[in-house]
């Protein structure tokens, strides 16, 4: 399975710009980029009232479950799912093999669907650029070389 | 796979608790959630998509931020899979993108066939996702050691840890929080070592 590339500051900045532009075009509330394993990569828009980490995990699970259903009805791909609510709606769409875009919005879904097509192309292009970058151009994780990991997670009473 | 975000100096890691039904996977997460010592706001809500009979339907999910390691934010996402045989598709979905696995085995004698079947199922599901167990750090946890019909650890080692490379294993009594943190810290250790090795093999430069 291909993996998500290491993302440097420039990647995150560009992804954030794409999301900001999308939000201004659609008047949507919040836009997230997540990977299909459930990780939140970045987001723009209102975030304080939402638990975006959990939304990312659940949205990826729901999307991937729908992909599996698609396979069961011999449909090669459901590219998006839309859940309409009274206050907020959620639209989740495929970006590439690894990544999804999730939009929380109050506005009309038609506007979201129209502008998201351009946004996901830009997001996919930025991720591809990150993928093409030399693999060494990332963080040196040797800073994490801790001799003892017993203290990484500690019980309260210890 | 893990997300490494240089912009925020952040590492996001996904650990999946796998094992037979009613073996204590969810209990592990509940105990971590209830007892972990974290700075305020670093522990998310435990989300459980379960049936009314306490069986996990889709997954349990606990986001948690470890104590900062040398200025690095390390965010862990702990998942469980549903243990029931019929939910295999769901297990495959949850395994996607996992970085490490904790296999929670039930120590009761009569559960040994289920342990072995579940372990084999895990290997099959990893293969279906084009992943290889040799490339994914995992640890074994022999849970429910407090029960009178618990099998000897040596026997469980023979059944589940008899591969070319033996992995760390822990005895646990999940509902008393015994062995839970030891297991989690060991999988964390294996994961960090793996990332470091990958990073060094890529010849990454020191960050500015």
- Contact with chain A for residue B204, Cβ under 8 A: yes
Inside any domain, residue A153: no
CATH of B3-201, one of 3.90.110.10, 3.10.105.10, 3.40.50.720, 3.40.50.300: 3.40.50.300
Give the residue numbers spanning the domain of A88: 9-144
Inside any domain, residue A79: yes
pLDDT of residue B69: 66
Inside any domain, residue A107: yes
Inside any domain, residue A158: no
Inside any domain, residue A27: yes
Contact B3 A11 (CB under 8 A): no
Inside any domain, residue A109: yes
Give the domain CATH number at A126. Answer: 3.30.450.30
pLDDT of residue B10: 79
pLDDT of residue B70: 64
Q: What is the mean pLDDT of residues A29-46?
A: 93
Chain A, window 31-60: residues with a beta carbon less than 8 angstroms from a chain B beta carbon: 35-41, 51, 53-54, 57-58
**For chain B, counts of helices (H) and of strands (E):** 5, 8
Distance from CA of A93 to the nearest CA of B (A): 17
Contact A139 B207 (CB under 8 A): yes
- Contact with chain B for residue A139, Cβ under 8 A: yes
* pTM of structure: 0.84
pLDDT of residue B99: 92
pLDDT tens-digit readout, B19-69: 999 999 999 999 999 998 877 667 788 888 876 667 777 888 999 887 666
pLDDT of residue A149: 67
- Number of domains making up chain A: 1
Contact A37 B199 (CB under 8 A): no
Residue B181 has pLDDT above 80, yes or no: yes
pLDDT of residue B121: 96
Question: What is the C-alpha to C-alpha distance for residues B17 and B12, in angstroms, rounded to an integer?
Answer: 17
pLDDT tens-digit readout, A63-120: 988 888 898 899 887 899 999 999 999 999 999 988 999 999 998 899 999 999 999 9
Q: What is the mean pLDDT of residues A41-47?
A: 94
Residue with the bigger pLDDT between B194 and B143: it is: B143
Q: What is the mean pLDDT of residues A126-135?
A: 83
Which positions ≥6 away from A116 have C-beta within 8 Å?
A: A22, A26, A91, A93, A101, A103
- Contact with chain A for residue B7, Cβ under 8 A: yes
Model ipTM value = 0.73
pLDDT of residue A136: 52
Inside any domain, residue A65: yes
Pairing of strands B73-80, B10-18: parallel
Inside any domain, residue A87: yes
Distance from CA of A111 to the nearest CA of B (A): 31
pLDDT of residue A146: 59
Residue A94 β-bridge partners: A100
């Amino acid at each position: 399975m291909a993996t998500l590339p290491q993302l440097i500051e420039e990647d995150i900045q560009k992804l954030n710009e794409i999301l900001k532009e999308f939000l201004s075009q659609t008047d949507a509330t919040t836009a997230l980029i997540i990977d299909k394993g459930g990780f939140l990569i970045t987001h723009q828009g209102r975030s304080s009232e939402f638990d975006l980490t959990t939304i990312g995990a659940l949205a990826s699970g729901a999307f991937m479950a729908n992909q599996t259903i698609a396979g069961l009805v011999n449909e090669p791909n459901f590219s998006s799912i839309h859940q309409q609510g009274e206050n907020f709606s959620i639209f989740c769409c495929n970006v590439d093999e690894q990544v999804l875009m999730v939009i929380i919005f109050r506005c009309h879904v038609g506007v979201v669907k129209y502008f998201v097509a351009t946004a996901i192309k830009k997001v996919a292009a930025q991720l591809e650029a990150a993928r093409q970058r030399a693999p060494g151009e990332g963080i040196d994780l040797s800073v994490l070389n801790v001799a003892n990991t017993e203290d990484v997670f500690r019980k309260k009473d210890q | 796979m893990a997300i490494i975000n240089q912009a925020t100096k952040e590492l996001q890691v996904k650990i999946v608790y796998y094992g037979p039904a009613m073996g204590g996977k969810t209990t592990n997460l509940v105990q971590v959630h209830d007892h972990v010592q974290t700075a305020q706001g670093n522990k998310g809500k435990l989300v459980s998509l379960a049936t009314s009979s306490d069986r996990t339907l889709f997954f349990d999910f606990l986001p948690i931020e470890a104590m900062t390691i040398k200025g690095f934010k390390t965010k862990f996402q702990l998942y469980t899979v549903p243990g029931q045989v019929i939910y295999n598709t769901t297990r495959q979905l949850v395994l996607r993108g996992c970085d490490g696995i904790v296999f929670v085995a039930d120590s009761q004698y009569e559960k040994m066939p289920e342990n072995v079947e579940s372990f084999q199922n895990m290997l099959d599901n990893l293969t279906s996702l084009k992943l290889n167990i040799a490339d994914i750090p995992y640890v074994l946890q022999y849970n429910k050691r407090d029960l009178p019909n618990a099998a000897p650890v040596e026997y469980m080692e023979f059944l589940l840890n008899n591969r070319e490379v033996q992995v760390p294993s822990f005895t646990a009594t999940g509902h008393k929080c015994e062995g839970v943190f030891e297991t989690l810290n060991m999988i964390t250790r294996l994961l960090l070592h793996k990332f470091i090795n990958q990073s060094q093999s890529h010849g990454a430069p020191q960050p500015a």
